[in-house]
Amino acid sequence: MNDARSELAAAGAHLAGLGLSPGSSGNLSMRTESRIYLTPTGTDLARVDPAALSVLDLAGAHLEGPKPSKEFPLHTAFYRRDPTARAVVHLHSRHAAAVSCLPAWSEHSAVPPLTPYFVMRVGQTPLLPYAAPGDSGQADEMEALPFPFRAALLQNHGPVVAGTSMARAVEAAVELEEVSALLLALGGRTPRLLSPAEIAPLTRKYGAPWTGR
């Protein structure tokens, strides 16, 4: 059993344990060179079998294993647009999904810069217009966006997050859920946001993608 398979299964159990993957929602993948290991369709992330993962190439062709999640185009699109990405996490976590149903804060980020940890660990998070789950056109649109990002919200759906490792992708997905909960808790009040002068040193130090409003 290779390490990627075991790491993916452990990440699924962790996210499910945090309550961020209700039922059989959500899907995870890891990239190793030219292969992508992906949770199969209908998988409960609490019970991922590392020996029974779908295997795809970067173009999305199914190479072996069970039928992949129908949302595999989101995963392959992230890997193609960011060669440093080694893991992708897609969840239906409650608060981030709720924020995906609201108007975006800006063209580049659905979520405003509420906390330094959101800027550091996630960065700007665009809102992609609604499409049915598994729609390859939505994945193509995400791949073609002309500005940097490591996370996106799918309108009326939920978050998808990439990372240079599974640990970083999971950390970013958890942080996105937390900042989404904070945004909802503020209700209709106007919060203080981090200023450009406060954001700039965070982006320099942590390499976070933030190109402004």
Active site residue 107: no
Active-site position among 33, 37, 107, 117: 117
Of the candidates 168, 9, 5, the residue with the CA atom closest to the CA atom of residue 82: 168
Q: Confirm if 31 and 22 have CB atoms less than 8 A apart.
A: no
Of the candidates 135, 142, 7, the residue with the CA atom closest to the CA atom of residue 82: 142
Compute CA distances 70 → 13, 28, 122, 127, 135, whole Å: 20, 12, 25, 20, 8
Active-site position among 7, 37, 71, 79: 71
Active site residue 71: yes
User: HSE of 30 in the Cβ direction (CA atoms, 13 Å)?
Assistant: 19
Active site residues: 71, 117
